[in-house]
Amino acid sequence: MEDPGSPSDIIRRMGSIAPLTKADATQLHQLLAGVRAAADRMTELAPVFPDEIDPALLSLTVDGDSNVAEGELS
């Protein structure tokens, strides 16, 4: 996912699609932080061809925190 930059960058980039106000752009900027984090996580997990996604890289918690050693799991 491309870096959306600042709210001003968002207004410039989206200008051809919709007439965003600064308030709209600020709200979208905040939402895009979550979208980008999710997209980055998907990219991290994407395997090198011809491998498949390594299940051990998938998290065990709601926040996607995978820093849990196997030994700690019940």
Partner 1 sequence: MTGSPDAQTSLHYLPLSEQAKRIRFGELSAVALTRAYLGRIRAHNPTLNSFITVDENGAVDQARQVDDAIARGEEVGPLAGILIAVKDSIPTKGLKTTDNSNLLADWIPEHDAAVISRLRQAGAIIIGKANLNEFGWSRPSEADLAPPPWNPWNPRHASVGSSSGSGAAASGGLSSAAIGTDGGGSIRLPGGAHGLIGFKPTHGLVSRHGMDHNSHSEISPLTRTVEDAAMMLDAMAGYVPEDDMSWLGEPVGYSQRLTDADISGWRIGVPWQFICSAPNEPEVEEAFERFLDKLESLGCELVDTPVRGLAEARMANFLVLNAEAYQRHAKSVGQNWDKYGEITRVYLLQGAYLSADDLLNAGEVGRAVRHQLETEVFGETGVRALAMPTSPFVTAERSRRPGEHSRGINACFTAPFNITGHPSVSVPAGFSESTGLPIGAMLTSALHDDLGLLQLAYAHEQATDWHLQHPDLEA
Q: Under rule CB under 8 A, how many of the chain's residues touch partner 1?
A: 41
Type of residue numbered 50: P
Applying CB under 8 A, does 64 fall inside the site for partner 1? yes
Applying CB under 8 A, does 51 fall inside the site for partner 1? no
C-alpha dist (Å) from residue 6 to 19, 44, 55, 60, 63 = 16, 24, 35, 33, 25
Applying CB under 8 A, does 12 fall inside the site for partner 1? no
Using only C-alpha atoms, the chain has a radius of gyration, in whole angstroms, of 18
Residues engaged in binding partner 1 (CB under 8 A): 1-2, 4, 14, 16-20, 24, 27-28, 30-32, 34-39, 41-43, 45-46, 52-53, 55-56, 58-65, 68, 73-74
